[in-house]
Amino acid sequence: MINAIIDLYTKADIEGLSSKLLRSSRWQQHHFTAMGALQAQPLWLSFLAQYGVSECVSHTHSVGAERETLQLVLQPKKLKNPVRLTFVIKHNGTFIKSVKCVVDTLSLANNEYVNTTVNNSSVIPKLPKSDPIIVSDLDNQLHPTTFHATPSAICELPSHTARTLDNWWQIWQTNNLAQFETLYTPSATAVLAGNTQPQPISTLLDCHLDFTQSLSRRYAQLETVEYDSTQNQATLCWTLDGSFNVKNVRVRQQIISVISISDNQITHEVMQFDTLALNQQFAL
């Protein structure tokens, strides 16, 4: 499965990946859900047509109980700078059941074509029409006893890892920003949307604060949690709901966080979300 996805971008092997999808397989990308290869192929072909076949600069792979995580840093032949793609894959060994793919569209929008004077705006990816969605407005004051899921509640984890991930989740669910001081190692790094290189962990705090300024009445909710015990690495798919202050519209940002842990502290975190898909889905 992993090689089929890599070959799609490095060899334009459409047939190889298509053969792994059933008609009931879900491929989610750019906030759009494609069912089966026939609906997923236009997403793949659009990327190849705009940016060309890519060289794989780096890739990391982790295996959880139900899903695998693949992180690719690709250097498309038509672009000057690389772009990151993150996949969370569920399969049965023969066929893919579902894929959640997050393309760093912000790094695409900030990119440039090689050997051309074409305006940079043309680098912005051609996005499909997003899935229709109505984001509910959860008022915690109206539901004071509601249980809010934590990583350890939905995934079997070693006790120390469970404590670390639950504390990490409090940063986003309850704005416990003091966790940045104790939860991360002094040399911890983060990779956020718009960058392929590790940055100081302070950039993650800045990202959180940016969300607090642009979104009011925020609510973070977990979707899936996978843990690779051999690498001590967790992958969390989650959403951040909020009211976009400028337009007063309720939005939902889909996020994948990949967290590396050592001695009960976080050493590296990748946080990926599709900025342009969010802007299109909610007309921001």
pLDDT tens, 206-240? 999 998 898 888 889 999 999 999 999 999 999 99
What are the C-alpha distances in Å from 265 to residues 36, 84, 88, 177, 261? 40, 25, 23, 15, 5
Q: Quick one: pLDDT band at residue 262, thresholds 50, 70, 90?
A: very high
CB 23 within 8 A of CB 35: yes
Note the pTM of the prediction, 2 decimals.
0.92
Task: Express each pLDDT in 2-48 by its tens digit.
Answer: 999 999 999 999 999 999 999 999 999 999 999 999 999 999 999 99
Higher pLDDT residue, 224 or 247?
Answer: 224
Tokens of 201: 């962990």
**Is the pLDDT at 243 greater than 80, yes or no?**
yes
With cut-offs at 50, 70 and 90, classify the pLDDT of residue 69.
very high
Instruction: Assess contact for 44 and 206: CB atoms under 8 A.
Output: no
Q: How many residues does the chain have?
A: 284
